[in-house]
Amino acid sequence: MKKVLLGTSALALATAGASPAAAAEFEVDVGGYMEQFVAVAFSDVDTAAGVADPDVDGIDSKQDAEIRFRPSITLDNGIKIGADIQLEANTTGDTIDESLMSIDGAFGRVLLGSENSARYLMGFGAPDVTFININSGSITGFVPFSGSVGGAARGADVFRGTLGSTFLENELNNDAQRFTYFTPRFAGFQVGVSYARDPEQDSNTQVDLNGAEIADIFDIGANYVNSFGGFDVAVGGGWGIARDDRAPIAGTDVGENPQVYNFGGNFGFAGFTIGGSFAEQNNADTEDGQVFDVGISYETGPWGFSFTYLDGENVDEENAVNPAGNDEQLQAYLLGLNYNLAKGVNVNAFGAYVDFEEDTGDAGGAGDDVDGFIIGTGIKISF
Query: Is residue 68 scored above 70 in pLDDT?
Result: yes
Query: Is residue 7 scored above 90 in pLDDT?
Result: no
- What's the predicted TM-score (pTM) here? 0.90
- Determine the pLDDT at residue 325: 74
Asked if 138 and 37 touch (Cβ cutoff 8 Å), the reply is yes
- Determine the pLDDT at residue 200: 94
Dist CA 201 CA 205 (whole Å): 9
- Determine the pLDDT at residue 3: 39
379: exposed, middle or buried (C-beta count within 10 Å: 0-12, 13-18, 19+)?
middle
- Determine the pLDDT at residue 250: 86
Average pLDDT, the chain: 90
- Determine the pLDDT at residue 50: 60
For residues 370-380, give the mean pLDDT.
Answer: 97
DSSP characters over 199-237: ---S--PPPP-TT-SSEEEEEEEEEEEEEETTEEEEEEE
- Determine the pLDDT at residue 6: 36
- Determine the pLDDT at residue 48: 65
- Determine the pLDDT at residue 150: 76
Query: Is residue 251 scored above 70 in pLDDT?
Result: yes
Side-chain half-sphere CA neighbours of 61 within 13 A: 3
Query: Is residue 352 scored above 80 in pLDDT?
Result: yes
Asked if 335 and 325 touch (Cβ cutoff 8 Å), the reply is no
Find the helix or strand (DSSP H, E) in which 180 lies.
strand 177-182
For 123, 240, 253, 283, 315, the CA distances from 250, given in Å and listed in that order, are 34, 24, 8, 13, 18
DSSP characters over 248-276: P-TTS-TTS--EEEEEEEEEEETTEEEEE
Secondary structure (3-state) at 98: strand
Question: What are 307-325's pLDDT values in tens digits?
Answer: 999 999 999 887 776 656 7
- Determine the pLDDT at residue 17: 43
Which one has a higher pLDDT value, 332 or 320? 332
Query: Is residue 2 scored above 50 in pLDDT?
Result: no
- Determine the pLDDT at residue 92: 65
CA-based max dimension of the chain: 74
Which one has a higher pLDDT value, 45 or 240? 240
- Determine the pLDDT at residue 21: 45
Side-chain half-sphere CA neighbours of 291 within 13 A: 39
Question: What are 70-114's pLDDT values in tens digits?
Answer: 999 999 999 999 999 999 987 766 688 899 999 999 999 999 999
- Length reported for the chain: 383
Given pLDDT bands bounded at 50, 70 and 90, which one contains residue 18? Answer: very low
Closest by alpha carbon to 120, among 132, 107, 136?
136
Which one has a higher pLDDT value, 123 or 5? 123
Which one has a higher pLDDT value, 192 or 3? 192
Phi, psi of 19 (to 5 degrees): -60, -30
Question: What are 260-307's pLDDT values in tens digits?
Answer: 999 999 999 999 999 999 999 999 988 999 999 999 999 999 999 999
Nearest-5° Cα angle at 153, 98 to 35: 40
For residues 350-364, give the mean pLDDT.
Answer: 88
